[in-house]
């Protein structure tokens, strides 16, 4: 791949990254309608296709190398476009090398374990890309907005205020650090949709019969907690964006841009890993020549 394209990816994603310890003010500093000066018709399709091709090439090498793995964490409020982003961004990769896990309301068995248990069972193997469609971060988002959920999590008696969330942030950071040190690269995307755009998309789920199945009454209930979610997201971003596992805030009011930006962030991670096809040593090459000789004899 030519250098200018790499520069372009780096340039595109840098403003979206949350630096460790950065103060996060979503409303003020992160416009959901941002498009980096790109034009949908001029740049949209072409950039996405290039990102998808880059991902496919690197994913094939990641799988062949089977040393490192990648975890993509996707978080967002309802109707921000998580499913469509996964569908488009991963459209070029070999399905054998990618697993998508969608985390819903936890089961009784999951709730009976420590809060990271169900997520640790779904991590990628070496050579794989795993995508968490919702993730361990729900444990500091939906659970924070609805602390009554903690009662179902069988928590031991302990302070439930700010301290609990600080403790969870610390546990998550340590868990992610340990995974990174063991060869698993983590990249985290928050699809940032505006309240007005969410309203339009939820209306479309009601008005368009083919989208009716997507509508859930709980989407409306959660929308009432919009401000609480914004606060929980901002605090989570500020405390869990680390050098080893950074958060990117992906402007999500324009689906075409969100897809390009998500592809760019994941491509950048894979380019950073630079996985290589394994090469044979002299003995291996000699053996191959012998196999070739045997095959040539018929």
Q: Which stretch binds ligand AMP (CB under 6 A): 41-49, 101-109, 252-260, 274-282?
A: 101-109
Kindly tell me which of 5 and 230 has the beta carbon lying closer to ligand AMP: 230
* 197, 251 Cβ separation under 8 angstroms: no
Find the binder of ligand AMP among 139, 235, 253, 268 (CB under 6 A): 139
Surface-to-core class of residue 132, CB atoms within 10 Å of its CB (0-12 exposed, 13-18 middle, 19+ buried):
buried
Binding positions for ligand AMP, 58-87, rule CB under 6 A: 78
Q: Is 90 helix (H, G, I), strand (E, B) or coil?
A: coil
292 is written with which tokens?
């070739």
CA-CA distance, 133 to 127, in Å (whole number)? 19
The separation between CA 3 and the C-alpha centre of its own chain, rounded to angstroms, equals 26
186 is written with which tokens?
């983590």
Kindly tell me which of 220 and 280 has the beta carbon lying closer to ligand AMP: 220
Decide which of Mg ion, ligand AMP, none touches 134; Cβ closer than 5 to 8 Å per partner kind: ligand AMP
Binding positions for ligand AMP, 214-253, rule CB under 6 A: 218
Number of residues that bind Mg ion (CB under 5 A): 1
Closest CB 195 distance from ligand AMP, rounded Å: 17
Closest CB 219 distance from Mg ion, rounded Å: 6
Decide which of Mg ion, ligand AMP, none touches 253; Cβ closer than 5 to 8 Å per partner kind: none
Asked if 266 touches ligand AMP (CB under 6 A), the answer is: no
Closest CB 222 distance from Mg ion, rounded Å: 9
CA-CA distance, 19 to 125, in Å (whole number)? 28
For the beta sheet containing 98-102, the strands, ordered from the edge strand earlier in sequence to the opposite edge, are 98-102, 129-133, 69-76, 184-192, 247-251
Nearest to 66 by CA among 276, 240, 271, 231: 276
* 254, 44 Cβ separation under 8 angstroms: no
Asked if 97 touches ligand AMP (CB under 6 A), the answer is: no
Asked if 143 touches ligand AMP (CB under 6 A), the answer is: yes
Strand 98-102, strand 247-251: pairing:
unpaired
Q: Cite the DSSP H helix spans in the chain.
A: 3-13, 26-29, 45-65, 82-89, 108-111, 117-120, 142-145, 149-152, 162-181, 195-207, 217-223, 226-240, 255-273, 282-296
Decide which of Mg ion, ligand AMP, none touches 149; Cβ closer than 5 to 8 Å per partner kind: ligand AMP
Decide which of ligand AMP, Mg ion, none touches 77; Cβ closer than 5 to 8 Å per partner kind: none
Site string for Mg ion, 74-113 (x = CB under 5 A): ----x-----------------------------------
- Summarize as ranges the residues that interact with ligand AMP (CB under 6 A): 78, 103-106, 134, 138-139, 142-143, 149, 218
């Amino acid at each position: 791949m030519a250098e200018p394209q790499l520069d372009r990816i780096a340039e595109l994603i840098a403003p979206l990254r949350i630096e460790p310890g950065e103060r996060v003010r979503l409303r003020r500093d992160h416009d959901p309608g941002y498009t980096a000066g790109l034009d949908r018709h001029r740049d949209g399709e072409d950039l996405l296709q290039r990102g998808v091709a880059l991902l496919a090439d690197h994913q094939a090498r990641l799988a062949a190398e089977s040393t490192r793995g990648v975890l993509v964490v996707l978080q967002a409020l309802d109707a921000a476009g998580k499913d469509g982003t996964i569908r488009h961004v991963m459209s070029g990769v070999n399905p054998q090398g990618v697993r998508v896990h969608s985390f819903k309301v936890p089961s009784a068995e999951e709730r009976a374990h420590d809060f990271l248990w169900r997520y640790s069972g779904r991590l990628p193997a070496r050579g794989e890309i795993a995508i968490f469609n919702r993730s361990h971060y729900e444990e500091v988002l939906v659970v924070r907005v609805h602390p009554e959920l903690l009662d179902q999590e069988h928590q031991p008696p302990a302070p439930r205020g700010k301290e609990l969330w600080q403790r969870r942030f610390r546990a998550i950071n340590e868990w992610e650090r340990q995974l990174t040190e063991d060869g698993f690269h983590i990249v985290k995307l928050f699809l940032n949709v505006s309240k007005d755009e969410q309203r339009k998309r939820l209306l479309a789920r009601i008005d368009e019969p083919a989208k009716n199945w997507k509508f859930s009454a709980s989407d409306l209930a959660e929308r009432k907690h919009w401000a609480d979610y914004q606060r929980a997201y901002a605090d989570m971003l500020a405390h869990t964006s680390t050098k080893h596992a950074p958060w990117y805030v992906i402007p999500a009011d324009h689906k075409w841009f969100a897809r390009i930006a998500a592809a760019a962030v994941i491509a950048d991670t894979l380019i950073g890993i630079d996985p290589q096809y394994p090469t044979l040593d002299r003995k291996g090459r000699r053996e191959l020549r012998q196999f070739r000789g045997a095959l040539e004899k018929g």
